[in-house]
């Protein structure tokens, strides 16, 4: 469904990704794990078009993403929940969801999509008139995911959904990721919370210093000695 | 004696309210453009000057009805806003903010000089003499009342557009987080063009209203350009609500102090209050940006 081949990317003179290749198949949940500054967020931004790679290839559902302007990528079916949620803080929850449904295709189905999001997150319905900036961290994450779901995506990119949340809320977020998967969505998730994320995904890639170091099934990685020592802190 | 005094004060307050409506309209366009594109149109008042010339030629030379001339003018200055964005702002968007200030400042002098060459320095007006209303012993300028009502209508229309439409939501959103707009499927360049069109159209609306109160000449922008900037800064640049409040505050100061002193002293006093307020709240009345 999504295939990256030999991606080099960076900011200005700084190169963050070196020849990254990665694949996500339809219906899969895949994680990208790795330390801070490994290039995980850059990878997500490259997929959603916020950053253009220097070389390499990205294909999504037979479409060459590099030939598509960034603002058209969401219409192809990729919704990106960015790092730190990036809600519009002085707009209501409802208006944030409206922005998620900006594309003409999603606009036509706004009410239907909103009902779906409110069913998934009843809390958002209660707070629909509140400014998004006044929500708690967990609610903001719900709102950010809800906003992404408004575009009726085929694939969801989640960048550090558990960052900055209290442990009990982190549990809820991962439970949520499982529910989203169950609804048939393909998920690519970037996480530092390695142990938890490996329990909800099928496969994972380990990204270090801008390059893929290893990859495999989630259970294998959970059991692997290297991962254990470096990321699970035994 | 005391009763007479009261009615004059009331008249000044009312007159300040009417003036405030037009100031608010002027500030709104500038604030909208700044909030969305992060660029200050230094030449904003010169767009209004061109609009006033447009009104003059359409109404006096081509004998179009006032309303039709006004509509053409609003659309025309809106297109000028788009042209300003495409020709001057867009090429400089990624560069240091000072470049955009200097460039639009350059456009200010260019437009003033071009108007001087093309139209001469004669003071022109539409020759419309609107009556002065006698309302409960107070004299209210009909032109100001009309300007106030039209400015209010324009602002309400803009508010509804921003609050209800998808494009309006995108305009509000882009002022809060520019970088992630592509993730929403928003083409920021298109939103910038729409914003420039609206900003220009607001200047066009202002020009139709101001042409009823001021003679047109190439430097007429100086009459209200500086005040507009001051109001925007006082309200917190880019903050539309702050600009709205500051417009009325400033207009009342000018109007009421003009009652006790001369009209010119009203402006002096207004600017003095501005300087003091800037010391107290340098970020503007309703601060938003850190």
* Residue that has been written with the tokens 């707070």 in this structure: A127
| A25 Cβ under 8 Å from any chain B Cβ | no
d(CA A79, nearest CA chain B) in Å: 7
The verdict on residue A2 lying in a domain is no
Classify the phi-psi angles of A195: left when phi > 0, otherwise alpha if psi is within -120 to 50, otherwise beta. Answer: alpha
Lowest-pLDDT choice from A22-36, A148-162, A196-210, A218-232: A218-232
Residue B290 has pLDDT above 50, yes or no: no
Q: Is the pLDDT of residue B281 over 60?
A: yes
Q: Does a structural domain hold residue A13?
A: no
Residue B253 maps to a domain? no
The pLDDT value given to residue B256: 87
Residue B288: pLDDT over 70:
no
Name the average pLDDT for chain A: 92
Burial of B96 (0-12, 13-18, 19+ CB in 10 A): exposed
Nearest-Cα distance to chain B for A72, in Å, is 6
- Provide the pairing of β-strand A2-11 with A14-24: antiparallel
What is the mean predicted confidence (pLDDT) over B23-27? Answer: 93
Does the residue B72 lie in any domain? yes
Lowest mean pLDDT among A3-7, A65-69, B112-116, B275-279: B275-279
Q: Note whether residue B199 is domain-resident.
A: yes
Distance CA A73, CA A47 (A): 9
**B262 part of a folded domain:** no
Establish if A107 touches chain B: CB-CB under 8 angstroms. Answer: yes
Q: DSSP assignment, residue B85?
A: I
Note the pTM of the prediction, 2 decimals: 0.90
CB atoms within 10 A of CB B181: 21
User: Which strand ranges, in their side-by-side order, compose the sheet holding A55-60?
Assistant: A14-24, A2-11, A55-60, A63-64
CB-CB: which of A75, A91, A102 is closest to B166? Answer: A102
Quote the pLDDT of residue B92: 94
Tell whether B249 is covered by a domain.
Answer: no
**Residues of chain A positioned with their CB less than 8 A from the CB of B176:** 88-91
pLDDT tens column, B95-154: 998 999 999 999 999 999 999 999 999 999 998 888 888 877 788 888 889 999 999 999
User: Residue A206's domain spans which residues?
Assistant: 27-44+70-231
Decide if B229 is inside a domain.
no
For residues B139-166, one letter each, b for 16 or more C-beta atoms within 10 angstroms of the residue's C-beta and e for the rest, the string is ebbebbbbbbebbeebbeebeeebeeeb
Residue B269 lies in a domain: no
Please report the pLDDT score of residue B32 as a whole number.
94
The answer to the question of residue A178 being in a domain is: yes
The alpha-carbon gap from B233 to the nearest alpha carbon of chain A, in Å, equals 20
pLDDT at position B1 is 45
| Greatest alpha-carbon span in chain B | 67
Contact: A73, B182; criterion CB under 8 Å: yes
User: Is the CB of A99 less than 8 angstroms away from the CB of B173?
Assistant: yes
> Which tens digits make up the pLDDT trace of B175-205?
899 999 999 999 999 999 999 999 999 999 9
Measured distance CA(B241)–CA(B29) in Å, rounded: 12
pLDDT for res A4: 95
- Expressed in angstroms, the distance from the first to the final Cα of chain A is 36
**What chain A residue is nearest to B166 in terms of C-alpha separation?**
A102
pLDDT band at A222 (very low <50, low <70, confident <90, very high): confident
CB-CB under 8 Å, A50 with B179 = yes
CA distance A4 to chain B (A): 19
Chain CA centroid to CA B122, Å: 24
Percent of chain A beyond pLDDT 70?
97
Q: Counting every residue, how long is chain A? A: 234
In a domain, B243, yes or no: no
H helix runs in B120-187, sequence order: 142-164, 166-174
Task: Provide the pLDDT confidence category of residue B277 given band limits of 50, 70 and 90.
Answer: confident
Domain containing residue B113: 13-216
Section B248-260 average pLDDT: 87
Decide if A100 and B186 are in contact by the 8 Å CB cutoff.
no
Say if A120 falls within a structural domain. Answer: yes
Query: Please, what is the Cα angle at A105 between A101 and A102, to 5 degrees?
Result: 25
Q: Cβ A99–B176 below 8 Å, yes or no?
A: no
The answer to whether residues B89 and B188 touch, using CB atoms and an 8 Å cutoff, is no
CA distance A101 to A117: 12
pLDDT category at A224 given cuts 50, 70, 90 is: confident
A159: domain CATH number is 3.40.50.300
B-chain CB neighbours of A49 within 8 Å are 182
- pLDDT above 90 as % of chain A: 75
* Mean pLDDT for the stretch of residues B73-88: 97
Contacts of A72 in chain B (CB under 8 A): 185
Do residues B211 and B56 lie in contact, with contact meaning Cβ atoms separated by under 8 Å? yes
Average pLDDT over residues B15-22: 91
Structural domain count of chain A: 1
Specify the pairing of strand A29-33 against strand A203-208: parallel
| Number of compact structural domains in chain B | 1
With a CB cutoff of 8 Å and minimum separation 6, the contacts of B108 are: B42, B43, B45, B46, B221
8 Å CB contact between A39 and A17: yes
Give yes or no for a contact between A39 and A207, defined as CB atoms under 8 angstroms apart.
Answer: yes
Closest chain A residue by Cα to residue B182: A71
Determine whether the interchain pair A50/B180 forms a contact, defined as Cβ–Cβ distance below 8 Å.
yes
Q: How far is B169 from chain A (nearest CA, A)?
A: 7
């Amino acid at each position: 469904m999504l295939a990256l081949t030999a991606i080099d990317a960076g900011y200005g003179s700084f190169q963050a990704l070196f020849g990254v290749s990665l694949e996500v198949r339809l219906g899969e949940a895949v994680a990208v794990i790795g330390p801070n500054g490994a290039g995980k967020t850059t990878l997500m931004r490259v997929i959603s078009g916020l950053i253009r790679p220097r070389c390499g290839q990205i294909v999504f559902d037979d479409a060459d993403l590099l030939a598509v302007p960034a603002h058209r990528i969401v219409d192809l079916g990729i919704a990106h929940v960015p790092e730190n949620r990036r809600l519009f803080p002085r707009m209501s929850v409802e208006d944030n969801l409206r922005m998620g449904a900006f594309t003409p295709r999603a606009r036509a189905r706004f009410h239907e999509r909103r009902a779906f999001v409110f069913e998934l997150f009843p809390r958002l319905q209660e707070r629909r008139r509140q400014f998004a900036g006044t929500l708690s961290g967990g609610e903001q994450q719900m709102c950010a995911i809800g906003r992404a779901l408004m575009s009726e995506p085929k694939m969801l990119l989640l960048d550090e959904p558990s960052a900055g949340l209290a442990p009990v809320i982190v549990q809820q977020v991962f439970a949520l990721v499982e529910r989203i998967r169950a609804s048939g969505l393909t998920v690519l998730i970037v996480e530092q919370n390695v142990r938890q994320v490996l329990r909800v995904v099928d496969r994972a890639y380990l990204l270090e210093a801008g390059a893929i170091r290893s990859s495999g099934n989630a259970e294998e990685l959970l059991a692997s000695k290297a991962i254990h020592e470096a990321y699970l802190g035994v | 004696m005391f009763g007479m005094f009261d009615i004059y004060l009331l008249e000044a307050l009312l007159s300040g309210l009417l003036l405030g409506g037009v100031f608010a309209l002027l500030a709104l366009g500038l604030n909208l453009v700044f909030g969305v594109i992060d660029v200050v149109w230094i030449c904003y008042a010169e767009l209004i000057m061109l609009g006033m010339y447009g009104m003059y030629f359409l109404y006096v030379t081509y004998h179009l009805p006032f309303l039709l001339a006004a509509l053409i003018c609003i659309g025309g200055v809106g297109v000028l806003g788009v042209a300003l964005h495409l020709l001057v702002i867009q090429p400089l968007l990624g560069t240091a903010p000072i470049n955009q200030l200097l460039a639009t400042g350059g456009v200010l002098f260019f437009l003033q000089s071009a108007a001087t060459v093309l139209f001469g320095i004669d003071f022109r007006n539409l020759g419309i003499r609107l009556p002065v209303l006698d309302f409960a012993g107070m004299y209210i300028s009909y032109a100001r009342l009309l300007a106030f009502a039209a400015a209010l209508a324009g602002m309400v229309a803009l508010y509804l557009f921003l609050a209800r439409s998808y494009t309006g939501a995108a305009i509000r959103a882009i002022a809060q987080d520019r970088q992630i707009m592509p993730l929403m499927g928003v083409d920021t360049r298109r939103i910038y063009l729409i914003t420039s069109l609206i900003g220009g159209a607001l200047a066009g609306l202002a020009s139709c209203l101001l042409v009823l109160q001021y003679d047109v000449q190439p430097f007429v922008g100086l009459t209200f350009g500086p005040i507009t900037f001051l109001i925007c800064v006082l309200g917190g640049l880019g903050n539309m609500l702050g600009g709205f409040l500051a417009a009325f505050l400033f207009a009342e100061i000018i109007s009421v102090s003009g009652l006790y002193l001369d009209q010119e002293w009203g402006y002096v006093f207004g600017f003095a209050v501005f300087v003091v307020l800037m010391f107290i709240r340098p970020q503007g009345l309703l601060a938003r940006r850190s």
